[in-house]
């Protein structure tokens, strides 16, 4: 059978989050595989209450573990590396990355008690990592975290460029600038680029992206104008922004204090790995609290409204000895990820109650995106001249728009979402298979399947409330005439004015008294009847049907 | 004791939603009262799962019912009238409004089986409604629903203008245009305006608001350019927009079909009350499905992503015989209310999967807001020259910004949030009391207090899962050695690999065997011990502590 080149997204194609992509080369069904990124996404109350992390189901990878050569991590954002510690035990192959990413990856492995031996650190291009039929190079690209890298994946069927997350920034403050000459070279050596698998996040942003360096002056002006304490929040991993903010603070005559574990960790790792140099000295919260208010800049976590991060804590009251006051200034040097609006607004209002003036990036002065905008994506198509464009890192509407853009430029393109297996060997990509994909939920420390019903039941309890019924069947298979009912998350009284629980108990007692042997002897029949009565009474009383759990205790004859 | 004029917001001040404001005049503690608006807000999964509607707790009004003269409704948006049917039985006073608002109010009363006698219809100024010490006039203002009206409330202590929701629109398509001459008159008759209680929603929008009439040409151009079926969604109550859309559709050679009960009802009521004239004829979904795709414009509900509205239904599949196809166009002629982003994005992606092209109002061509922007608010301050400005209809940050704006213009202003009682008699408002306010939740058909714990328990079950334990105490006060455990919303297995339920049962059996009489005889001690063991085992097994319900069945001696 002829060999073929395949592409299979397991996460990140049809959603923004939990990126995981598979490339394979070899005979159909026997392709040797590499995995690019093992990310997570975050649950929300609407779709995954109580779930700590969501990651791609890697069952297919587990089943095909002997075919996997290695894992590559493009950069250390959680949606690319966050699943590493949880999923690695199911894959157990070498993990290749650059040093900053690797340092954070090691921490993730250590936190879960895993060895860090699998993590292999590499220099960027021209260094080449040979794994099975693949020759892979890390190529620096700018993004909102240091060391984000595209992968050049050379295969017997041609060259793939997998962009990872990127923007075109010639002056990124931290990390390597975008290097058009290097990319021109990449596009023209070998046989040129067969497939560009490309970030689609900002495909709907019509203007060219702006450089991180453009923020230095506006931020300095902003901080200089403030008369009291200034707090700035941004993504902890945006090390370049932290540096820009810190330098602006120092230039405005302030001391810098970092709040938030994630942020301090990022700066430490960035320093230790040498990707961050000349970061201004920082002071402790205790020292900050003793300085005059106009001499301090706090740089804090929680730009997305996270309830337990420093921003939220400061908005609620005293935190680590620091307290915001009327006339202080709070800057969101960040954009709000869709879905996080409520949390951010909650903080803004809490700050307003304290008399703190809130500034955000409405005018674009205090934040730039880490992703390539539409004209930048077009420029990349132009520069790399790929034969095929496969949009990734986007919801369906982003992928579709990106594919339309490529097609309009005469480049073959296809929307491939999670689970689609594309054969990239020929001139046009062909969907050759559809793999069952899904999501794993981290709940506490248990990994459960998204379709296991656990989360479905939680959502139902949250929407409908929960009634629990206990009935007892004695040693002679007779139902005791009493039922014990408890409710949780249901109104205490309904239409009849009597306690709902008592009303249900009365109806159940009546049922138990006349239940025939056939019913009493079957758990299933009993449960069905009890559930029905409980739901009926509750419906009459409060107009909605609760979830019902029935516990039947059968007393054993002694 | 000298008489005084008071203002008391019960809802809407410190939030956008569930508006309810009280004005009083008389001796302190004996003021005669009027209520302005009885609105609702909508629950979400984060803060109020399963709750159908949220409305202000009117306990204070109930306690002071004999002091209430009347209720006035400014307009028929749900956040102003939605609580009428539920709260009226606690107030039982005449409800004054204009005809369109009144017609919708009557429907709300009828739906709950209430008489509509309390609803009194009035003509706008110069008609005056005298109730107790108040003389009230409805003054037409433009907004995104017909007949939105400000109230002029003349009291012995001076004139109040309560704006309700408004924008300054000289060409609102449906309803009365903003009339600066009338407002000039209002500002200059009597002693001028003492207090302006003013909409703050768009205080952060820096540009002057735009007229509804500006949309006609862009919408016509848009529809004309589309080659297949066009679907447009907007707020059902935005009758002017419905008309603009329908007329653009007709001008583009299409038949109009309205989908969504709320929308058809609005058009019917607007027609019947005469506020809407010359609305183009509409066709049924059946007829629409038989016409060529380029001859139909669907105008549909669900612009906020509501799961059961027409937009969501169409995005998922066939709906009333209609099905969207590749190349169809879907227009959001609306803005997304903060917090609704996820639902809207879900629809956009579902449409993308179908190959439907989605258009929104990013460029501002297809939607204008119904609220006054910052420069418009300034213009109103200027035109009315009030002695005092009290910002309302806004979250805390909106109210604060509005107050700052007024103060900067030399007008006394104060931020008063729900529950604050302001004395407006003197030159400056004074906070003289703080009333306990809260929220009522409509759950099914039960009205419960937000602090009753029902919703708290639901959220906890959703986040933590729920374990139920049944134990039996026999006639001689001995615990049977078995415990029966069920879980809902918890992983089936944990660290130990055995079913979680069995593991808990084993630990509980051990406890029951050695439990002493003192423990067994006390429900409280039993529950505490059982809860503790259950949480401990679950924590060890899956790393989180569930909610635990314990049912103790004590068998009565026969």
User: For A438-459, what is each residue's pLDDT tens digit?
Assistant: 999 999 999 999 999 999 999 9
Average pLDDT over residues A120-140: 98
Residues of A in contact with B312 (CB under 8 A): none
Do residue A46 and residue B50 have CB atoms under 8 angstroms apart? no
CA-CA distances (angstroms) from residue A246 to A232, A279, A288, A297, A299? 10, 8, 14, 8, 8
Q: In chain A, which among 102-121 make CB contacts under 8 A with chain B? A: none
Do residue B341 and residue A338 have CB atoms under 8 angstroms apart? yes
Q: Tell whether B345 is within 8 A of chain A (Cβ).
A: yes
Candidates A239, A237, A258; CA nearest to A249 is A258
The nearest CA of chain B is from the CA of A501 a distance in Å of: 12
CA–CA distance, A96 with A149 (Å, rounded to integer)? 12
Q: In chain B, which among 311-340 make CB contacts under 8 A with chain A? A: 338-339
Closest partner residue to B463 among A49, A457, A552, by Cβ? A49
Coil vs helix vs strand at A22: strand
> With contact defined as beta carbons under 8 Å apart, do B262 and B306 qualify?
no
The secondary structure of residue A373, as a DSSP letter, is B
CA–CA distance, B163 with B160 (Å, rounded to integer)? 9
Average pLDDT over residues B266-274: 97
Rama region for B253: left / alpha / beta (φ>0; ψ in -120 to 50; rest)? left
Residues of B in contact with A463 (CB under 8 A): 49-50, 458
Is 80 exceeded by the pLDDT of residue B363? no
Do residue A46 and residue B348 have CB atoms under 8 angstroms apart? no
Do residue A348 and residue B480 have CB atoms under 8 angstroms apart? no
The nearest CA of chain A is from the CA of B351 a distance in Å of: 8
Complete DSSP assignment for B335-401: -PPTT-HHHHHHHHHHHHHTT-EEE-STTSSS---SS-BHHHHHHHHHHH--SEEEEESEEHHHHHH
Is 90 exceeded by the pLDDT of residue A558? no
Q: Tell whether B287 is within 8 A of chain A (Cβ).
A: no
Do residue B549 and residue A463 have CB atoms under 8 angstroms apart? no
pLDDT digits (tens, 9 = 90+) for B471-481: 999 888 889 88
CA–CA distance, A555 with B480 (Å, rounded to integer)? 9
Cis peptide before A28 (omega within 30 of 0): no
A248-251: long-range contacts, CB 8 A cutoff, minimum separation 24: A248/A216, A248/A219, A248/A220, A248/A222, A248/A223, A248/A297, A249/A223, A249/A280, A249/A297, A249/A299, A250/A280, A251/A220, A251/A224
Nearest CA in chain B to A538: B444
CA–CA distance, B70 with B136 (Å, rounded to integer)? 11
Look-up: residue for tokens 């019960």? B10
Residue B408, number of CB atoms within 10 A of its CB: 10
Residue B557: the pLDDT is: 62
Q: In chain B, which among 480-499 make CB contacts under 8 A with chain A? A: 480, 482, 484-486, 488-495
Complete DSSP assignment for B102-164: HHHHHHHHHHTT--STTEEE---TT--EEETTEEEEEEE-B-SSTT-EEEEEEETTEEEEE--
Residue B364: the pLDDT is: 82
Complete DSSP assignment for A274-309: TSS--PPPB--HHHHHHS-GGGEEEEES-TT--TTS
Is 90 exceeded by the pLDDT of residue A481? no
Bridge pairing between strands A149-155 and A193-199: unpaired
With pLDDT > 70 as the criterion, what percentage of chain A qualifies?
A: 100
Share the mean pLDDT of chain A: 96
Candidates A326, A121, A135, A332; CA nearest to A219 is A332
Please name the fold of domain A465-555.
Answer: Ubiquitin-like (UB roll) (3.10.20)
pLDDT digits (tens, 9 = 90+) for B375-394: 999 999 999 999 999 999 99
pLDDT digits (tens, 9 = 90+) for A34-78: 999 999 999 899 999 999 999 999 999 999 999 999 999 999 999
Exposure string of B434-458, with b = 16+ CB inside 10 Å and e = fewer, is ebebbbbbbbbbbbbebeeebbebb
Residues of A in contact with B543 (CB under 8 A): 444-446
Closest partner residue to A551 among B470, B480, B542, by Cβ? B470
Is 60 exceeded by the pLDDT of residue B558? no
Q: Tell whether A468 is within 8 A of chain B (Cβ).
A: yes
Specify the DSSP element, H or E, that contains A102. Answer: helix A99-111
Query: Which residue out of B13, B353, B444 would a mutagenesis test of the A interface target, given it has the greatest number of A Cβ atoms within 10 Å?
Result: B444
What is the signed CA dihedral for B291, B295, B296, B297, rounded to 10 degrees?
180
Do residue A461 and residue B458 have CB atoms under 8 angstroms apart? yes
Do residue B544 and residue A339 have CB atoms under 8 angstroms apart? no
Query: Which residue out of A446, A483, A501, A512 would a mutagenesis test of the B interface target, given it has the greatest number of B Cβ atoms within 10 Å?
Result: A446
Q: Tell whether A433 is within 8 A of chain B (Cβ).
A: no
Coil vs helix vs strand at A541: helix
Candidates B162, B207, B199, B213; CA nearest to B373 is B207
Do residue A46 and residue B45 have CB atoms under 8 angstroms apart? yes
The nearest CA of chain B is from the CA of A434 a distance in Å of: 16
pLDDT digits (tens, 9 = 90+) for A291-336: 999 999 999 999 999 999 999 999 999 999 999 999 999 999 999 9
Closest partner residue to B352 among A396, A542, A551, by Cβ? A396
The nearest CA of chain B is from the CA of A425 a distance in Å of: 26
* Token output for B297: 């414009």
Query: Which residue out of B465, B539, B546, B556 would a mutagenesis test of the A interface target, given it has the greatest number of A Cβ atoms within 10 Å?
Result: B465
The nearest CA of chain A is from the CA of B67 a distance in Å of: 28
Candidates B332, B331, B311, B333; CA nearest to B322 is B311
Do residue A45 and residue B50 have CB atoms under 8 angstroms apart? no
pLDDT digits (tens, 9 = 90+) for B480-531: 888 999 999 999 998 888 899 999 999 999 999 999 999 999 999 999 999 9
CA-CA distances (angstroms) from residue B405 to B161, B204, B341, B386, B390? 18, 11, 29, 14, 11
Nearest CA in chain A to B490: A454
Do residue A555 and residue B46 have CB atoms under 8 angstroms apart? no
Residue A238: the pLDDT is: 97
Closest partner residue to B466 among A444, A466, A555, by Cβ? A466
pLDDT digits (tens, 9 = 90+) for A493-524: 988 888 999 999 999 999 999 999 999 999 99
Q: Tell whether B170 is within 8 A of chain A (Cβ).
A: no
Do residue A454 and residue B490 have CB atoms under 8 angstroms apart? yes
Share the mean pLDDT of chain B: 96
Nearest CA in chain B to A459: B462
Do residue B338 and residue A342 have CB atoms under 8 angstroms apart? yes
pLDDT digits (tens, 9 = 90+) for A172-203: 999 999 999 999 999 999 789 999 999 999 99
> With contact defined as beta carbons under 8 Å apart, do B403 and B391 qualify?
yes
Residues of B in contact with A395 (CB under 8 A): 345, 348-349, 352
Q: Please report which confidence band the pLDDT of residue A430 belongs to, taking 50, 70 and 90 as the band edges.
A: very high
Coil vs helix vs strand at A193: strand
Q: Tell whether A449 is within 8 A of chain B (Cβ).
A: no
Average pLDDT over residues B526-547: 97
Helix, strand and coil percent figures for chain B, each rounded to 5: 35, 25, 40
Residue B477: the pLDDT is: 87
CA–CA distance, B81 with B86 (Å, rounded to integer)? 10
Q: Please report which confidence band the pLDDT of residue A557 belongs to, taking 50, 70 and 90 as the band edges.
A: low
Bridge pairing between strands B439-443 and B53-56: antiparallel
The secondary structure of residue B176, as a DSSP letter, is P
If you classify domain A212-359 with CATH, what class do you get? alpha beta
Look-up: residue for tokens 């709040």? A259
Residue B257: the pLDDT is: 98
Q: Tell whether A457 is within 8 A of chain B (Cβ).
A: yes
Residues of A in contact with B458 (CB under 8 A): 461-463, 465, 488-489
Query: Which residue out of A443, A472, A473 would a mutagenesis test of the B interface target, given it has the greatest number of B Cβ atoms within 10 Å?
Result: A443
CA–CA distance, A16 with A31 (Å, rounded to integer)? 27
| Residues facing residue B120 across a β-bridge | B96
Do residue A341 and residue B345 have CB atoms under 8 angstroms apart? no
Closest partner residue to A50 among B14, B204, B465, by Cβ? B465
The nearest CA of chain A is from the CA of B186 a distance in Å of: 33
Do residue A468 and residue B551 have CB atoms under 8 angstroms apart? yes
The secondary structure of residue B326, as a DSSP letter, is T
Residues of B in contact with A547 (CB under 8 A): 488
Is 70 exceeded by the pLDDT of residue A112? yes
Largest CA distance in chain A: 87
Is 80 exceeded by the pLDDT of residue B334? yes
Q: Give the CATH H-level superfamily of domain B4-207+369-449.
A: Ribonuclease Z/Hydroxyacylglutathione hydrolase-like (3.60.15.10)
Q: Tell whether A527 is within 8 A of chain B (Cβ).
A: no
User: Domain residues of chain A, as ranges?
Assistant: 4-207+369-449, 212-359, 465-555
């Amino acid at each position: 059978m002829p060999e073929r080149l395949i592409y299979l997204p397991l996460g990140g194609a049809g959603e923004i989050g939990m990126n995981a992509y598979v490339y394979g080369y070899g005979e159909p069904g026997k392709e040797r595989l590499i995995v690019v990124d093992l990310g997570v996404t975050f649950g929300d109350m609407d779709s995954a209450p109580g779930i700590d992390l969501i990651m791609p189901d890697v069952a297919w990878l587990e089943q095909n573990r002997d075919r996997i050569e290695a894992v590559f991590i493009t950069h250390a954002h959680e949606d690319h590396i966050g699943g590493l510690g949880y999923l690695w035990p199911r894959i157990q192959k070498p993990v290749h990355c650059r040093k900053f990413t690797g340092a954070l990856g090691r921490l993730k492995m250590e936190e879960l008690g895993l060895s860090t031996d699998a993590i292999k650190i590499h220099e960027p291009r021209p260094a080449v990592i040979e794994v099975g039929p693949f020759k892979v190079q890390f190529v620096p690209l700018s993004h909102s975290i240091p060391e984000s890298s595209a992968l050049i994946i050379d295969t017997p069927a041609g060259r793939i460029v997998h962009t990872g997350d990127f923007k075109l920034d010639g002056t990124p403050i931290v990390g390597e600038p975008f290097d058009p000459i290097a990319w021109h070279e990449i596009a023209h050596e070998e046989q040129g680029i067969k497939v560009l698998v490309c970030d689609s996040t900002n495909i709907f942003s019509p203007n060219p992206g702006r450089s991180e360096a453009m923020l230095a002056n506006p931020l300095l002006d902003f901080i200089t104008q403030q008369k009291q304490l200034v707090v700035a929040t941004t993504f902890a991993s945006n090390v370049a922004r932290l540096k820009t903010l810190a330098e602006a603070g120092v230039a405005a005559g302030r001391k810098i204090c970092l709040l938030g574990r994630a942020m301090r960790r990022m700066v430490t790792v960035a320093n230790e790995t040498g990707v961050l140099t000349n970061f201004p000295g920082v002071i402790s919260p205790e020292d900050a609290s003793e300085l005059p208010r106009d001499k301090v800049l706090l740089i804090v976590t929680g730009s997305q409204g996270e309830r337990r991060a420093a921003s939220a804590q400061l908005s609620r009251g005293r935190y680590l000895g620091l307290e915001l006051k009327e006339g202080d200034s709070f800057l969101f040097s960040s954009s709000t990820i869709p879905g996080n609006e409520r949390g951010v607004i909650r903080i803004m209002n809490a700050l307003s109650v304290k008399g703190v003036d809130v500034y955000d990036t409405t005018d674009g002065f205090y934040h730039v995106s880490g992703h390539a905008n539409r004209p930048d994506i077009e420029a990349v198509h132009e520069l790399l001249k790929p034969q095929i464009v496969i949009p990734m890192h986007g919801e369906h509407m982003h992928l579709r728009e990106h594919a339309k853009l490529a097609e309009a430029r005469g480049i073959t393109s296809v929307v491939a979402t999670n689970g689609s297996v594309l054969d990239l060997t020929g001139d046009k990509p062909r969907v050759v298979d559809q793999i069952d994909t899904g999501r794993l939920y981290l709940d506490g420390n248990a990994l459960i399947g998204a379709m296991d019903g656990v989360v479905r039941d939680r959502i139902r309890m949250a929407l409908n409330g929960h009634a629990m019924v206990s009935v007892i069947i004695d040693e002679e298979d007779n139902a005791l005439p009493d039922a014990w009912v408890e409710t949780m998350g249901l109104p205490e009284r309904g239409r009849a004015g009597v306690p709902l629980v008592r009303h249900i108990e009365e109806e159940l007692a009546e049922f138990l008294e006349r239940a025939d042997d056939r019913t009493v002897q079957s758990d299933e029949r009993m449960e069905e009847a009890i559930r029905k009565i409980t739901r009926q009474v509750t419906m009459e009383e409060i107009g909605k049907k609760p979830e019902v759990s029935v516990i039947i205790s059968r007393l054993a004859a002694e």
